[in-house]
Structure 1
Amino acid sequence: MIRVLLVDDHPVVREGIRGMLGAEPDLSVVGDAASGPEALALVAALSPDVVLMDLRMPGGDGVSATERITADHPGAHVLVLTTYDTDGDILRAVEAGATGYLLKDTPRAALADAVRAAARGETVLTGRVAGKLLSGMRQRTAPPAAVLSPRETEVLRLAAEGRTNAAIGRALHISQTTVKTHLVRVYDKLGVGDRTAAVSRAIRRGLLPDR
């Protein structure tokens, strides 16, 4: 059972999401919060697997809460669920450690699948959001601080598209173990701890090619 914490300042939204996820046999909403500080307290108390996080809330924004949660509770994966899809909002959320970014018009089935993927630590970005993330990051210039091999670059490019390790392996005709090995080397070179942060830093440093 995947334990989910809902964070949104609108009670109607929280109840709606609770109803949607409650219909899934493997998902359990263990609590809900109306602000960032309240979310931090509940994450510590409830140890959820996934935190569905709104971005803009009175009393403490979602980005600050995401940064604290990912730093203090590495077992809790933050999945942003918001109405805002500006480049700046997306970039701030990903850099704070969010494993994914969804909009509130996401269909129920897609939302449930995204929660499952986030619980596995996979990157969750829709095509539109991924495009905005790439656009926003390419506007920031920074000299490359690491050199990725062609294969590492290819693996990371596919990871940036939201593909699983299995899907990357099939695309490149390599095993999942080899994919993981390449990703670990990428993390080490970029000084990060997960694929979302690796994609973020690689794009910002110009290490991923335009598609």
Structure 2
Amino acid sequence: MESFEGPVLTFSVVVADDHPVYLDALSRAVDAVPELSLAGTANDGAEAIDIIERVRPDVAVLDVEMPIYNGPAVAARIVALELPTRVLFLSAHRDGATVYDALATGGYGYVTKDASMREIQDAVLRVASGVRSIGAGVEHQIVEEIQVRAERHTLELTERERSVLELAVRGLTVAGMGKHLHLSPATIKVHLSTLYAKLGVSDRASAVAEAIRRGLVQ
């Protein structure tokens, strides 16, 4: 009996990056995959939005940092318009804050630019198939960022405690804090002790370091 193979299912892809050489290499990589069809390229965020609105591709591969509109802004536009396009972010940055903020705008995946083209091709295919894809070496950073933001959200400081903490970061002594806030040194010490307990530390230097780590102060 003669076998019959149906047509290969293809997914349309738009690629956007403001580096011409990388954009060309990325476009060629996408076009080389039988299951993927290159539907357009863009050099900046505005051009990307225009193409995506017209073509409505299955996947948009977006550089996080682009002129006019960055990748997350383009992703937010896709979500606002309720387009069927899934977004895969590409970036040279792997820090947790950048990854978290990008995915929070509606991204379906995130891969760093030091990944091989084969890894990027696989990520595009997974995103096109509805599977979220986070590149190697990024998972740890995003988990840490989630934990930090959760701690920042759940930690409740009173207005006075926050004032004392900010002055501690500025390096003021207990006497200096008291003079600044019109409180006695004994009261300042009570607030510091409460802060130590809430931050899970035992001294002032650790409290300052932990507060900065959690983003409670600048």
Query: Would you say same fold, with TM above 0.5?
Result: yes
CA offset digits 1:33-78 (Å, max 9, x no partner)? 1122211111111111110000111211111111111232441000
For 1:68, the aligned partner's letter is R
Match of 1:133 in 2: 142
Match of 2:77 in 1: 68
In structure 2, how many angstroms separate the alpha carbons of the residues matched to 1:23 and 1:128? 26
Match of 1:34 among 19, 36, 43: 43
1:109 CA displacement: 2.1
Match of 1:203 in 2: none
Q: Which runs of 4+ in 1 moved over 4 A?
A: none
1:128 CA displacement: 1.4
Count of matched residue positions in the alignment of Structure 1 and Structure 2: 143
CA offset digits 1:135-191 (Å, max 9, x no partner)? 111111245xxxxxxxxxxxxxxxxxxxxxxxxxxxxxxxxxxxxxxxxxxxxxxxx
- Map 1:110-189 to 2 at 5 A: 110-141=119-150, 142=153
Match of 1:95 among 101, 104, 108: 104
Structure with more relative contact order (C-alpha pairs < 8 Å, separation 6 or more): 1
For 2:26, the aligned partner's letter is I
TM-score, normalization: structure 2?
0.62
Percent of pairs with identical residues: 29
Match of 1:85 in 2: 94
1:20 aligns with 2:34: no
TM-score, normalization: structure 1?
0.64
Unaligned segments of structure 1, at least 5 residues: 144-211
In structure 2, how many angstroms separate the alpha carbons of the residues matched to 1:73 and 1:34? 23
CA offset digits 1:105-153 (Å, max 9, x no partner)? 222222111111101221101241111111111111245xxxxxxxxxx
Match of 2:114 in 1: 105
Unaligned segments of structure 2, at least 5 residues: 1-9, 155-218
- The DSSP-based 3-state class of the residue aligned with 1:58 is coil
For 1:102, the aligned partner's letter is V
1:11 aligns with 2:20: yes
For 1:107, the aligned partner's letter is S
On the 8 A contact 1:70/1:78 being kept in 2, the answer is: no
Match of 1:58 in 2: 67
In structure 1, how many angstroms separate the alpha carbons of the residues matched to 2:139 and 2:81? 26
For 1:39, the aligned partner's letter is A
- The DSSP-based 3-state class of the residue aligned with 1:56 is coil
